[in-house]
Amino acid sequence: MAYQNVRGLRRLANALRYSMAGLRQCFRHEEAFRLEISAGLLVVPLGLWLGESGVERALLVGSWLVVLIVELLNSAAEAIVDRIGMERHELSARAKDVASAAVFLSILFCALVWLLVLAGRWMP
């Protein structure tokens, strides 16, 4: 059965299966993703505990999920560049550096959210 002809719940089930495979592959092959998952084992419960409202909890936990999402995209970009060729090329290096910068900015965003949410309790 061609993928384009799959509809409804079957398509949803396939999408879920492919997504889980992607998470497993990233966890298996990307050390940074494993480290961020490990940090999430601390960050997520801490965010749920420190958040005083549903909005605060969503911001604290959600900002960490953004880091994981951007890391997944970074890993995909790196895999595509490596698939094209392992030789050094200016555009390949640029693509990898830009994707890495996106991860860095997502981590800064997460830190800023945590700082603003938690500091907001002590600032008027």
The domains located in the chain, with CATH, are 31-119 (1.10.287.3610)
- How far apart (Å, rounded) are the C-alpha atoms in residues 68 and 74? 10
**Active-site residue, from 71, 78, 87, 90:** 71
Asked if 121 and 92 touch (Cβ cutoff 8 Å), the reply is no
- The question of whether 36 is a catalytic residue gets the answer no
Q: What is the pTM of this model?
A: 0.87
Candidates 46, 42, 67, 68; CA nearest to 57 is: 46
Asked if 61 and 44 touch (Cβ cutoff 8 Å), the reply is yes
* DSSP code per residue over 66-110: HHHHHHHHHHHHHHHHHHH-SS--HHHHHHHHHHHHHHHHHHHHH
Residuewise pLDDT in 10s, the chain (124 residues): 456 677 888 999 999 999 999 999 999 999 999 999 999 999 999 999 999 999 999 999 999 999 999 999 999 999 999 998 888 889 989 999 999 999 999 999 999 999 999 998 777 6
- How far apart (Å, rounded) are the C-alpha atoms in residues 80 and 60? 31
- Give residue 95's pLDDT: 93
